[in-house]
């Protein structure tokens, strides 16, 4: 009996010893805040956990602006290891507030730049893992049914034939859309860029709250054309939707980034995730049909489909715009607020003015009238007019009012109310002038 008990005791001890290492090797959680959809995060999560079985990835999905605010608000008790998003200026904001940690990735073979844009933060606070450009996506069946031509440039979307067929996400809610608008402003200049944006906006059917809403609407035929980041178009094509995508000449190719949050609870796991994204396996995941991102390692394109865009071999991609992230970062909140006050919240008024201008131009094409043409030009200039200059948008007096600080709130509200009134009055005047031009052409 004593011998039996001894044997049982040895077996229990052995079992306990066997359990100990297994418990110690339970995967450690790595927490990431990201704006990317499950179409991106799920394949990456699966591949990461297979490549590094010591870690498991927890994904918290928030839009870019909400993610930045969350990391700011929880800095005292941070529970996040990584921030993972498309917008470079969001990383600059976090870096400027001391909310990112330095890292030195292990990857080799990644160039310093993609086009004219640095792939990584020179100081080592954030890293490009993929690249993307901005452009136009459209549903080919919808286009045929509505006799829409294939768009090629942003200005095409301002043509009368596209009225009520175009959608965009609000840049204040989507970091990628913000960068699209900023790209147009930098590529064409502040005044002409806003003119282009507002002329397109006059044809919008909808301004969605999330960037995902635009490609979903194009895929389903809810609307015909969407202003999107490239991978929405490429992944929809790979999934079999009847869509096309084009890069306008005024676009840019910029990296989507990942960074370790300061005081990350699992620093080792955060480093492992970045090193995986930049590894050969991590870069190859980007080629999967649901993701379709542009890898930052040129060697990965050897495994891409034959028609896959390659910014390292196609110099035309983004060549016309030398995107300056410092300029973008200084006026990010102002550009978003201007878009909302002049377009998002005034869309009905802007569309009414735009429709009146289209009708006046059509009438004048049939029966020309010099006074009518002058009125239409005045109407277009009223629509295009901006309440602030580029210098003012980045100034401490205006830009400084949009810092999010409580003491700046009253000034921000005052500016937004003023801009809304400016837009409302201008669009009403533009419509009246266009209507008068139409009457003169009859």
3-state helix, strand, coil in the chain (%, to 5): 55, 15, 30
**Segment 265-318, tens digit of pLDDT:** 999 999 999 999 999 999 999 999 889 999 999 999 999 988 888 989 887 776
Name the domain boundary from 198, 225, 253: 253
Which position has the higher pLDDT, 7 or 199?
199
- Domain annotation covers residue 243: yes
* CB-CB contact of 225 with 218 (8 Å): yes
Closest alpha carbon to 441 in 381, 382, 365: 365
**Angle formed by the axes of helices 267-277 and 38-51, to 10°?**
110
Do 210 and 270 fall within a single domain? no
Evaluate if residue 5 carries a pLDDT over 80.
no
Main-chain phi, psi angles of 83, to 5 degrees: -115, 130
Rounded mean pLDDT, 223-248: 94
Do 126 and 272 fall within a single domain? yes
Lowest-confidence range among 24-38, 190-204, 241-255, 400-414? 400-414
Evaluate if residue 18 carries a pLDDT over 90.
no
Q: Is residue 330 exposed (0-12), middle (13-18) or buried (19+ Cβ within 10 Å)?
A: middle
Evaluate if residue 11 carries a pLDDT over 50.
no
Whole-angstrom distance between the N-terminal and C-terminal Cα of the chain? 114
Evaluate if residue 3 carries a pLDDT over 90.
no
| Structural domain range at position 249 | 132-253
Which position has the higher pLDDT, 265 or 9?
265
Do 125 and 189 fall within a single domain? no
Do 34 and 140 fall within a single domain? no
Do 86 and 148 fall within a single domain? no
- How much is the pLDDT for 149? 98
- Tell me what the pLDDT averaged over the chain comes to: 91
Structure pTM? 0.82
Do 125 and 153 fall within a single domain? no
Evaluate if residue 15 carries a pLDDT over 70.
no
Evaluate if residue 23 carries a pLDDT over 60.
no
Do 217 and 155 fall within a single domain? yes
**Segment 136-154, tens digit of pLDDT:** 999 999 999 999 999 999 9
Q: What is the dihedral of CA 286, 239, 210, 248, to 10 degrees?
A: 80
Rounded mean pLDDT, 77-95: 92
Which position has the higher pLDDT, 261 or 64?
261
**Distance separating alpha carbons of residues 304 and 359, to the nearest angstrom:** 47
- Domain annotation covers residue 155: yes
Q: Give the containing element (helix H, strand E) for 253.
A: strand 253-261
Percent share of the chain, pLDDT over 90:
75
- How much is the pLDDT for 44? 97
* CB-CB contact of 47 with 281 (8 Å): yes
Q: What's the domain count of the chain? A: 3
Which position has the higher pLDDT, 330 or 205?
205
Evaluate if residue 39 carries a pLDDT over 50.
yes
Main-chain phi, psi angles of 357, to 5 degrees: -65, -45
Do 62 and 172 fall within a single domain? no
User: Which CATH number does the domain housing residue 270 bear?
Assistant: 3.40.190.10
Which position has the higher pLDDT, 183 or 13?
183
The alpha carbon dihedral of 121, 325, 291, 99 has a sign of positive
**Segment 380-436, tens digit of pLDDT:** 999 999 999 999 999 999 988 887 656 667 899 999 999 999 999 999 999 999 999
Number of Cα atoms under 13 Å in the Cβ half of residue 441: 24
**Segment 317-341, tens digit of pLDDT:** 766 788 887 888 889 999 999 999 9
**Distance separating alpha carbons of residues 321 and 329, to the nearest angstrom:** 16
**Distance separating alpha carbons of residues 430 and 350, to the nearest angstrom:** 9
* Length reported for the chain: 442
Which position has the higher pLDDT, 11 or 423?
423
- How much is the pLDDT for 19? 41
Q: What band does 211 get if pLDDT is binned at 50, 70 and 90?
A: confident
């Amino acid at each position: 009996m004593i011998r039996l008990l001894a044997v049982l005791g040895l077996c229990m001890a052995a079992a306990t010893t066997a359990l100990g290492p297994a418990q110690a090797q339970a995967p450690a959680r790595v927490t990431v805040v990201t704006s990317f959809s499950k179409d991106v995060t799920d394949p990456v999560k699966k591949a990461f956990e297979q490549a590094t079985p010591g870690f498991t990835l927890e994904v918290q999905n928030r839009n870019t602006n909400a993610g930045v605010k969350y990391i700011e608000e929880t800095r005292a008790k941070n529970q996040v290891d990584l921030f993972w998003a498309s917008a470079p200026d969001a990383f600059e904001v976090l870096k400027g507030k001391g909310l990112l940690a330095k890292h030195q990735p292990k990857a080799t073979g990644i160039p310093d730049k993609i086009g004219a844009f640095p792939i990584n933060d020179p100081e080592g606070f954030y890293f490009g893992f993929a690249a993307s450009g901005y452009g136009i996506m459209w549903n080919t069946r919808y286009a045929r049914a509505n006799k829409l031509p294939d768009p090629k440039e942003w200005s095409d979307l301002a043509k009368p034939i596209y009225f009520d067929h175009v959608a965009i996400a609000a840049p204040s809610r989507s970091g990628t859309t913000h960068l699209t608008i900023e790209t147009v402003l930098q590529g064409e200049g502040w005044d002409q860029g806003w003119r282009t944006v507002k002329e397109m906006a006059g044809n919008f059917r909808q301004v969605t709250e999330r960037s995902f809403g635009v490609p979903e609407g194009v895929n389903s035929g809810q609307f015909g054309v969407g202003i999107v980041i490239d991978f929405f178009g490429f992944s929809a094509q790979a999934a079999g939707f009847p869509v096309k995508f084009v890069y306008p000449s005024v676009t840019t190719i910029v990296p989507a980034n990942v960074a370790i949050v300061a005081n990350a609870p699992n620093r080792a796991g955060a480093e492992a995730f970045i090193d995986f994204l930049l590894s050969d396996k991590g870069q190859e995941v980007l080629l999967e049909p649901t993701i379709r991102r542009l890898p930052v390692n040129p060697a990965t394109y050897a495994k891409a489909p034959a028609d896959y865009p390659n910014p390292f071999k196609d110099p035309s991609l983004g060549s016309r715009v030398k995107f300056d992230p410092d300029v973008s970062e200084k006026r990010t909140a102002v550009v978003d607020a201007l878009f909302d006050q002049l377009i998002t919240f005034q869309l009905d008024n802007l569309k009414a003015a735009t429709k009146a201008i289209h009708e006046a131009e059509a009438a004048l094409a049939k029966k020309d009238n010099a006074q009518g043409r002058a009125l239409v030009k005045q109407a277009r200039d009223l629509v295009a007019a901006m309440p602030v200059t580029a210098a003012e948008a980045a100034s401490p007096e205006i830009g400084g009012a949009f810092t999010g600080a409580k003491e700046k709130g009253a000034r921000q509200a005052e500016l937004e109310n003023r801009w809304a009134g400016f837009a409302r009055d201008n669009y009403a005047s533009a419509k009246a002038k266009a209507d008068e031009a139409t009457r003169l052409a009859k």
